[in-house]
Amino acid sequence: MAEDTVMTPSEGSISEPIESSGPTLQGLQHQINTLSGQLQQVLTLLQQGLQAQPTGPSPAPQAPPQVPPAPGSPPNSVPDPAQNPAPIPAPTASDFSSFTVKELAKQSLNLAEKQRLSGPENYQQWFQAISIQFRALQIPEFLENPDLISGRLSDPQKAALLLTLRNTLKDGPLATIAYETDPAAAYKRLRLQYSPTQTVLRDELYRQFHSLQFDGSTTIVDFNAVFNTIICRLHGLGVEIAEIDQINHYFKVLESHFPQWAERCKGLLRREQWLYNTEGHNTRLNLLYFQEDLLAETRNSITTTAQQLSVLQAHYQQTSRRRKSGKKGPKHSEESPKKPKEPRKRKDSKSKKG
């Protein structure tokens, strides 16, 4: 009687036909692990070849270390290189390419006019803009320790960095560093001359907060952004404005244009305060709630608030057009042709002839 033979797949190959009763689950799993390990090894060799420096003769490829197989695994299994990945060196401050510097120098030419340094009044906006650029250059420490970072850069990189810095300035600050050749010295001179003290900046922001007005020249979204930005900047300088004071000032600025909305919101706020004083319920109303409520009201075209906003914006546009036409008026009057002078009558000569 012939004995039944069981076909087992050869190790490292899956080209042989697989019968339904032959291979086991462990054998298939072993084949899959073998193929994935070989693929990972090829990818690792490709990455090492890309990271290799072109200087000097290329060293001979080293054989991967022999890792003993885990208990229960096949003897010829390929170790998974994902368990011991090759370390990737972290970029340093002097690794950014000249192409990156040139591109960022071009982008600095497109900096918004309000963000270009013109004096102490917009130093904070300018500082925020260049801090983002230096983060993209992988040298955010330049703003804190410019001498250290500048000493690690090559001369072309210093020139490109100085060009990027000059492109963010207006005429006055640009004349201040006209003869500076080191970006660190140029930045320190700008910081010394135009950086306002915290006391002066705090007073200026506090005046801006209390002089805010809404005349229809901007949208509600832009006005809310300006309002919140001033509060955040004051908070960063140590000025704490209570939440109820923020809400009341927000109502004060807008209630002349949206009286029905302001009265309704004040009623809600009084009700929440009464519940807190009598029953101890925490209020759910804050500045963000009223800002979102006003935004929702103005986006609904059938509400009174939306109609009032449309009237206010139309009035602002008409006023701005009149101002522009008034400025052009005298210019047209000067260019108007002069009337020719009438010839004088010579009565004396006729009387003498007679």
Give the pLDDT confidence of 55-105 residue by residue, as tens digits. Answer: 555 555 565 555 555 555 555 555 555 555 555 444 444 445 555 555 555
Whether residue 175 sits in one domain with residue 231 = no
Q: Look up residue 135 and give its amino acid.
A: R
**52 lies in a domain?**
no
Whether residue 308 sits in one domain with residue 276 = yes
Indicate the helix (H) or strand (E) that contains 329: helix 304-335
Q: How many domains would you assign to the chain?
A: 2
Choosing from 196, 226, 249, the residue where a domain stops is: 196
Per-residue pLDDT at 308: 93
Mean predicted lDDT score pLDDT of the chain: 75
Per-residue pLDDT at 139: 82
Choosing from 166, 196, 226, the residue where a domain stops is: 196
Whether residue 134 sits in one domain with residue 240 = no
Determine the structural domain holding residue 213 and report its residue range: 199-320
Per-residue pLDDT at 67: 52
Whether residue 316 sits in one domain with residue 205 = yes
Q: Which tokens sit at 224? A: 């809310």
Whether residue 299 sits in one domain with residue 233 = yes
Per-residue pLDDT at 130: 86
Quote the DSSP letter at residue 74: -
**170 lies in a domain?**
yes
Whether residue 248 sits in one domain with residue 290 = yes
Would you call 117 helix, strand, or coil by DSSP? Answer: strand
**123 lies in a domain?**
yes
**42 lies in a domain?**
no
Whether residue 206 sits in one domain with residue 316 = yes
193-204 pLDDT, tens digit per residue, is 888 777 888 888
**176 lies in a domain?**
yes
pTM (predicted TM-score)? 0.51
Whether residue 315 sits in one domain with residue 204 = yes
Choosing from 147, 170, 196, the residue where a domain stops is: 196
Q: Which residue positions in the chain have pLDDT lower than 50?
A: 1-21, 53, 88-95, 332-335, 349-350, 354
Would you call 253 helix, strand, or coil by DSSP? Answer: helix
**340 lies in a domain?**
no
DSSP string across 123-185: HHHHHHHHHHHHHHTT-GGGGT-HHHHHHTS-HHHHHHHHHHHHTTB-HHHHHHTTT---HHH
Among 100, 66, 94, which residue's Cα sits nearest to residue 81? 66
Per-residue pLDDT at 7: 47
- Give the integer Cα–Cα distance in Å for 182 and 138: 19
Whether residue 271 sits in one domain with residue 181 = no
